[in-house]
Amino acid sequence: MDLQSGYPYSLIRNGLPFNYPWLETDIRTDVAVIGGGISGALTAYALTKAGISNVVVDARTIGLGSTAASTSLLQYEIDTPLYQLQEKVGVAAANSAYELCAASIGELERICKALRFPHFEKKHSLYLASYRKDVSWLRKEYAARKALGLKMEWWEEAVVLDKMGFSAPAAIYSHTAAQTDAYLLSHALHQHNIRHGGAVYDRTAVVDMEFRPRSVVLKTAHGQTITARYVVIATGYEVLQYIKLPLLKLNATYAVVSEPNHAEEQWYNDCLIWETKSPYLYMRVTSDHRVLVGGRDEPFYNPTRRDKLIHRKAAALEKDLRKKFPDIRFHPEFKWTGTFGSTEDGLPFIGAFPPMPHTYFALGFGGNGITFSQIAANIIADLVQGKKNPDTAIFSFNRKIRHSR
Ligand SMILES: Cc1cc2nc3c(=O)[nH]c(=O)nc-3n(C[C@H](O)[C@H](O)[C@H](O)COP(=O)(O)OP(=O)(O)OC[C@H]3O[C@@H](n4cnc5c(N)ncnc54)[C@H](O)[C@@H]3O)c2cc1C
């Protein structure tokens, strides 16, 4: 698949911070992780922490899947508002999903601290009603989240105007959010894992899997084998090579970052901003004082069509930003596009897929895929150790298998 193109800012800023070899010999390990993006990196980290030997392999150069394109906002809010998710999957599962996402932001903070990774910043997040008609459901959403004890404020129109300097009919101002650099964090996690006995091979595509009674043998494109007790599939949107179910809807999404402009001086609390309309617009200020704006999604997977739209979409995003902040000096410097997948209920797929023994999936889908990647890492580390994880059912493939019958 063609996952991204243009000039993803994290890739431009960080380049290739580390090199990894490709796999040249046959090897054995407890767990083989296919995919070295943020999902594979976090899972390998959780396994390493649990003392389980693991090897990560990636068909690309590390990080050059979706992770390099990520704008790295960390929010507990998933693509489906909580009150709607409660209707779709039940109150208990929906509440747990939101609580797990909120907890995963704190866990990511602790991981970044442990790694001495400096690119993690705690933030607040502003969820704006795009239209007056959205205010009534946004109130419902606020009540549902409040019942969970999530720290938030309800802002009326006058408060939005007073704090932000632009108008919106209402907003939820959340105290739990953060931003990071998912591409660089993936490298930091891999480097940690390598120092603690793990191995990472890139430019090493897995082309075949053989399931044996007590192991799985992976075959690489260069002809080597990896024999593992368990396999974790962390291949992002490319999972469709393994599972022929309609798990995902693929979209094209766009982002643009300005030259450094110290916009945070005009920006209330330097918060993350997003809104209720679909597709939604989002913006944040980077640690090097640039404004990053993203959104303007298109409902298709067609890399040629997607890429042709980069300049037009970046111009539209700039206009969107200017409508809210006409006084910010916004000179676009880098623009990019990426493929982006979301599920019907907004939840990812994590855990076992019965036709594939000894195999677990770590799929961080949706607008806040990174928080899901962290949840996947926790669940899979438990499953590999034979521990029961109470959250498994929420993200199970069973919900898709049931619906596709
Ligand atoms: C423009 C954009 C903005 C985004 N912004 C945000 C955001 O602000 N916040 C957020 O939480 N999420 C965001 N996302 C989503 C987030 O980036 C993804 O959820 C996340 O990067 C997925 O990581 P991953 O490791 O699962 O997948 P990937 O990064 O795609 O990694 C999967 C890896 O698997 C490898 N692979 C596939 N098949 C094989 C094989 N057969 N053998 C070996 N290797 C294989 C691929 O080469 C790839 O490197 C954004 C996405 C895009 C495109």
Q: How confident is the model at residue 400 (pLDDT cuts 50, 70, 90)?
A: low
Q: How confident is the model at residue 401 (pLDDT cuts 50, 70, 90)?
A: low
3-state secondary structure labels for all residues of 340-377: EEECCCCCCEEEECCCCCCEEEEECCCCCHHHHHHHHH
pLDDT in tens, 125-168: 999 999 999 999 999 999 999 999 999 999 999 999 999 999 99
Does 402 score more than 70 pLDDT? no
Greatest distance between any 2 Cα atoms in the chain:
65
Instruction: Assess whether the C-beta atom of 181 lies below 6 angstroms from ligand 1.
Output: no
Q: Are 155 and 10 spatial neighbours (Cβ–Cβ below 8 Å)?
A: no
Taking the C-alpha atoms of residue 230 and residue 293, their distance in angstroms, rounded to an integer, is: 40
Query: Can you tell me which atom of ligand 1 is nearest the CA of 60?
Result: 47
Q: Are 368 and 104 spatial neighbours (Cβ–Cβ below 8 Å)?
A: no
CA of 323 relative to ligand 1 center, distance in Å: 31
CA of 182 relative to ligand 1 center, distance in Å: 9
Report the DSSP beta bridge partners of residue 337.
Answer: 5, 254
- Which pLDDT belongs to residue 263? 86
Q: Which of 282, 284, 332, 340 lies closest to 311 in space, CA to CA?
A: 332
Q: Which of 42, 52, 24, 51 lies closest to 110 in space, CA to CA?
A: 42
Nearest protein CA to atom 20 of ligand 1, as residue: 67
Burial class (CB within 10 angstroms; exposed 0-12, middle 13-18, buried 19+) of 148: middle
Q: How confident is the model at residue 399 (pLDDT cuts 50, 70, 90)?
A: confident
Torsion (CA) 230, 38, 199, 20 in degrees, nearest 10: 140
Query: Can you tell me which atom of ligand 1 is nearest the CA of 253?
Result: 1
Q: How confident is the model at residue 256 (pLDDT cuts 50, 70, 90)?
A: very high
Q: Are 83 and 138 spatial neighbours (Cβ–Cβ below 8 Å)?
A: no
CA of 329 relative to ligand 1 center, distance in Å: 31
Provide the residue ranges of all domains of the chain, joining segments of one domain with +: 4-69+183-247+346-404, 249-268+277-342
Nearest protein CA to atom 38 of ligand 1, as residue: 235
Strands (E), 104-213: 121-128, 152-156, 170-179, 199-201, 206-211
Instruction: Assess whether the C-beta atom of 234 lies below 6 angstroms from ligand 1.
Output: yes
Contacts with 136 (C-beta within 8 Å, 6 or more apart), sequence order: none
Taking the C-alpha atoms of residue 21 and residue 326, their distance in angstroms, rounded to an integer, is: 48
Q: Which of 196, 204, 148, 212 lies closest to 174 in space, CA to CA?
A: 148
Please name the fold of domain 4-69+183-247+346-404: FAD/NAD(P)-binding domain (3.50.50)
pLDDT in tens, 318-357: 999 999 999 999 999 999 999 999 999 999 999 999 999 9
DSSP strand pairing (4-6 vs 332-342): antiparallel
Long-range contacts of 162-166, Cβ-Cβ distance < 8 Å, separation of 24 or more: 163/268, 164/126, 164/268, 164/324, 165/266, 165/325, 166/323, 166/324, 166/325
Mean pLDDT computed over 43-51: 98
Instruction: Assess whether the C-beta atom of 35 lies below 6 angstroms from ligand 1.
Output: yes
Mean pLDDT computed over 172-197: 98
Does 32 score more than 90 pLDDT? yes
Does 22 score more than 90 pLDDT? yes
Q: Which of 358, 353, 347 lies closest to 391 in space, CA to CA?
A: 347
| Entry pTM | 0.98
Q: Are 8 and 66 spatial neighbours (Cβ–Cβ below 8 Å)?
A: no
Instruction: Assess whether the C-beta atom of 384 lies below 6 angstroms from ligand 1.
Output: no
Q: Are 42 and 70 spatial neighbours (Cβ–Cβ below 8 Å)?
A: no
Instruction: Assess whether the C-beta atom of 59 lies below 6 angstroms from ligand 1.
Output: yes
Taking the C-alpha atoms of residue 370 and residue 182, their distance in angstroms, rounded to an integer, is: 8
Tokens standing for residue 307:
């890429």
Compute the mean pLDDT over every residue in the chain, rounded to the nearest whole number: 96
Helix (H) or strand (E) holding 188, with range, is helix 182-195
Q: Which of 74, 112, 104, 75 lies closest to 189 in space, CA to CA?
A: 112
pLDDT in tens, 99-134: 999 999 999 999 999 999 999 999 999 999 999 999
Alpha-helix residue ranges (DSSP H) falling in 15-147:
38-49, 82-89, 91-115, 135-147
Mean pLDDT computed over 91-105: 97
User: What are the φ and ψ backbone dihedral angles of 128, each rounded to 5 degrees?
Assistant: -90, 140
